[in-house]
Amino acid sequence: MTGPLPDVPPVYALGLPRLTAGFDQAERLDRRTHLLAHGSPPTLPGHRLAELADAIALRGRGGAGFPLARKLEAVAHHARRSGVRPAVVVNGCEGEPACRKDTVLLCRAPHLVLDGALLAADALGARTLVVGVTKDTAETSVRDALAERGLSDRRRGRSLRARLVRVPERLVSGEASALIRAAGGGPALPPGRRVRAAESGLGGAPTLFSNAETFAQLAVAARLGAHRYASTGAPHEPGTLLLTVSGAVPSPAVVEAPSGVPLPYVLQVCAADPAPGGVLVGGYHGAWLDAPTAYGTVVTREALAACGGALGAGAVLPVPAGSCPLGETLRVAHWLAAESSGQCGPCRLGLPALASALAATLSGGGQETLEAVRHAAQAVRGRGACKHPDGAARFVLSALDAFPDDLAAHALAGGCGRETAGVLPLPAPEAADAVDGTGTGAGNPTAAAGRLAVDWTLCEGHGLCAKLLPEAVRLDPDGYPVISDTALPGRLRGRAQRAVRRCPALALRLEKP
């Protein structure tokens, strides 16, 4: 496929469904249908819930894979130590274009996610529950689910107050500190320093933070118990998992499968090419596998890591043999660079340098540019304000390791002889043929695109707008933007809208001409 993924793609279950139970009965499980499909959840004290999470080896399913039991214990410890009641934050942002599993859960089984979050909130004695989303569909479904349960942020007589937070659809919006910051009324950006949510998260309170699938898995495990939960899946990583499969498949899908399922079986179910040119696992912060390696592994965190891959956010993306995987990598590398929040040098400067070095290598730059790629990746790893630079570097370096023959052909001869099909999903560009309020085609390069304006109460002088739109923005000696009050030409509309979207402080806007 090409183009962005739908919010809620088709869902397949390999074996008996757990997270997706009831999906054959209803498009969205309301409170009543949810209880018919899953039954009522039990109530577990904090130590029992942590023991359950530890017994089933439940790790976060958002990418980092941190053990949930350790998170629960850390939040409980810091809550006792500080005397502050903790908070629970559900991350349903899923700003990565190749992932839809959390969105599917929030849109089709929101009460299962809320069950897990409320189990944790009750066990920890939390007084605040926040669900973060980026999409209209998820926002509507979660709001309806909170209303169906009578949960609100306004009913002060309740021991628990619940609310939904909508953040911009960007990769960094789902980073833990960024979402917690947005839930506290700030911008959806990392704060520029590493913060442990379990120690000081939402409003300074110890905060349990995990993604939607993790809470849904906790709700299923609480109902089944550790023994029944472990009756399916790999012995050391029991249960099922959700995978978003896209790329070179007829249509994207979300698949619930037992852990340990052979990766080629997942690809076969989604009608992928049986001889792909490579498979990206874990998403755009994940890693590439060549075809023989991908078709010889199973889907567990341990097995994928052993062969150089990563479970990550659960995305699986085969590319066709006729498309250049390094060209696909370069497309995504440029997007990852543009997703920078512009707050630290490794991200703001290092990721564009990494993408540029990769482009030079693929154009026949030779050994010198290849070394520049590795140097740029090394320069950003472990030095960012969040994990975005680390993930982007891992993604690019894995392509160099997985496709050495293609890399040699590009570096020495300027190409491998294959086109880049563009099958890895990225956000849709602004429509070039949209019609503005004057009836003039926005794609017309002679039509005015509007005027850039800055809200000086918000601008922090990051300077990202000048890098994205140097034709219209320059920086003064203090690093703040200087913008002409003349209208922009139509040819700059898309890039101006991109600059507005990427402004870390949300201070830039595009006014109609």
Q: Which domains does the chain have, with CATH numbers?
A: 19-226 (3.40.50.11540), 232-319 (3.10.20.600), 325-413 (1.20.1440.230), 448-511 (3.30.70.20)
| Residues near 305 by beta carbon (within 8 Å), at least 6 away in sequence | 311
Q: Dihedrals φ, ψ of 254, to 5°?
A: -105, 130
Confidence at residue 440, expressed as pLDDT on a 0 to 100 scale: 33
Mean pLDDT of 382-406: 91
Strands 315-319 and 240-245: parallel
Of 321-330, 387-396, 492-501, which gets the smallest average pLDDT?
A: 492-501
Confidence at residue 446, expressed as pLDDT on a 0 to 100 scale: 38
Decide: 97 and 146 in contact? Cβ < 8 Å: no
Confidence at residue 438, expressed as pLDDT on a 0 to 100 scale: 30
Does the pLDDT value for residue 441 go beyond 90? no
What are the DSSP calls for 49-97, one per residue? HHHHHHHTT-B-SSSS--BHHHHHHHHHHHHHHHT---EEEEEE---ST
Residues 264-323: pLDDT tens digits?
A: 999 999 999 888 999 999 999 999 999 999 999 999 999 999 999 999 999 999 999 999
What are the DSSP calls for 368-418, one per residue? HHHHHHHHHHHHHTTTSSSSHHHHHHHHHHHHHHH-HHHHHHHHHHS--S-
Decide: 455 and 412 in contact? Cβ < 8 Å: no
Q: For tokens 């070095």, what's the residue?
A: 357
The DSSP output letter for 437 is T
Confidence at residue 138, expressed as pLDDT on a 0 to 100 scale: 96
pTM of whole model > 0.85? no
- How far apart are the two ends of the chain, measured CA to CA in Å? 37
Stronger pLDDT, 24 or 448, i.e. the higher one: 24
Residues 468-480: pLDDT tens digits?
A: 887 678 787 778 8
For 200, what's the count of Cα atoms within 13 Å in the CB-facing half-sphere?
A: 6
Q: Dihedrals φ, ψ of 274, to 5°?
A: -70, -10
Confidence at residue 101, expressed as pLDDT on a 0 to 100 scale: 97
| Residues near 296 by beta carbon (within 8 Å), at least 6 away in sequence | 307
Of 27-36, 99-108, 188-197, 482-491, which gets the smallest average pLDDT?
A: 482-491
Mean pLDDT, all residues of the chain: 89
Confidence at residue 471, expressed as pLDDT on a 0 to 100 scale: 67
Residue 164 pairs with which residues in a beta bridge?
131
Mean pLDDT of 426-433: 57
Confidence at residue 444, expressed as pLDDT on a 0 to 100 scale: 41
What are the DSSP calls for 210-221, one per residue? EEHHHHHHHHHH
Confidence at residue 439, expressed as pLDDT on a 0 to 100 scale: 33
Does the pLDDT value for residue 435 go beyond 60? no
The DSSP output letter for 359 is H
Residues 185-239: pLDDT tens digits?
A: 888 888 867 778 999 999 999 999 999 999 999 999 999 999 999 999 999 999 9
Mean pLDDT of 37-66: 92
Does the pLDDT value for residue 443 go beyond 60? no
